[in-house]
Amino acid sequence: MDSLALPTCEPLIRFCGVALTLGGRRILDPIALDIGRGEFVCVVGPSGCGKTTLLRLIAGLYLPTEGQVLYGGKPVAGPRQDIAIVFQDYGKALLPWRTASGNVSLALEALGTPRAQRPARIAALLAKVGLAQHADKFPGQLSGGMQQRLQIARCLAQEPSVLLMDEPFGALDAMTRQALQDEVLGLAASSGATVFFVTHDLEEAIYLGDRVVALKPNPGRVADMFEVRLPRPRDQLATREHPEFLRLRRTLFDFIKEAEA
């Protein structure tokens, strides 16, 4: 392995021999994976290898058929307020009949934030993702990148300790994608949140991650892990030209080619 199997800080999430069988089909072979508090972990692998399934196990949307997912040392038994999910399909994640403010408000309502405190909190969250000028617009009046920012603002309203991101930028153009990558890095750094980020884009995984976990399919399993020894803050030009970035890029491309063969 190129890599470190263990996070460099205290584990917040632990997969302890987690296996999953659905409808009689083995989806995941036993997985051992520790994710450190505040770590940014990216997950890559060929289609169908179980990336989203791992994310759903952390979210408590699936329960393992063997082993346990531990969160803060306790088994995950179902969805929790302090674990937020950003989906690729922002169109479905947002309520079209609520304004940008209304969509963020939804998370605050679910949290039980008193009505009087909501407007200031909503304004701060929209400002954080660059949508201060668009508070009264409906999702349909916003670009794809703006809708994804709105979904992120709504997740941040939960003040999550963990942000689960399932190919969040997969539907966006390259420029918007890069801008949002940098915003997410900034938000993760300022909040200290642990991020579990699923992507098909190997360069995105290296650019964002502290570690890249590479899965293989049939059944899904961890094939390798790569520590990303690149300085932070990351920079769209300098980081992508760094010799270590290029080395990891080659290694991951070779891995995917072999995994898909």
Ligand X SMILES: Nc1ncnc2c1ncn2[C@@H]1O[C@H](COP(=O)(O)OP(=O)(O)OP(=O)(O)O)[C@@H](O)[C@H]1O
**Which of 18, 34, 36, 53: binder of ligand X (CB under 6 A)?**
53
Interaction between residue 190 and ligand X (CB under 6 A): no
Under rule CB under 6 A, residue 22 binds ligand X: yes
72 binds ligand X, rule: CB under 6 A: no
Nearest approach in angstroms of CB 138 to ligand X is 29
Closest CA to 120 of 138, 129, 108: 108
Instruction: Decide whether 153 or 172 has the Cβ nearer to ligand X.
Output: 172
| 24 versus 112: smaller Cβ distance to ligand X | 24
Q: Tell me the closest approach of the beta carbon of residue 108 to ligand X, in angstroms.
A: 30
Name which of 38 and 220 has its Cβ closer to ligand X: 220
Output b/e per residue, 51-86; b: 16+ Cβ within 10 A. bbbbbbbbbbebebeebbbbbeeeebeeebeebbbb
32 binds ligand X (CB under 6 A): no
Of 6-14, 47-55, 204-212, 243-251, the segment contacting ligand X by CB under 6 A is 47-55
Least separation in angstroms between CB 215 and ligand X: 7
Pairing of β 211-216 and β 25-36: unpaired
Q: Restricting to residues 191-220, name those near ligand X by CB under 6 A.
A: 220
Q: Choose one: 29-37, 46-54, 136-144, 251-259; the region binding ligand X (CB under 6 A).
A: 46-54
Sign of CA dihedral 225, 226, 232, 237: negative
| Choices 44-52, 92-100, 125-133, 137-145 (CB under 6 A): range interacting with ligand X | 44-52
What angle is formed at CA 117 by the lines to CA 181 and CA 88, rounded to 5 degrees? 25
52 binds ligand X (CB under 6 A): yes
- Write down the residue that tokens 């979904």 correspond to: 151
Q: How many CB atoms lie within 10 A of CB 42?
A: 26
Q: Give the CA diameter of the chain.
A: 57
Q: Which parts of 157-203 are beta strand (E)? A: 162-166, 194-198
Q: How far is the CB of 25 from ligand X (least distance, A)?
A: 6
Tokens of 20: 């999953």
Binding site residues, ligand X, CB under 6 A: 22-23, 25, 27, 45, 47-53, 220
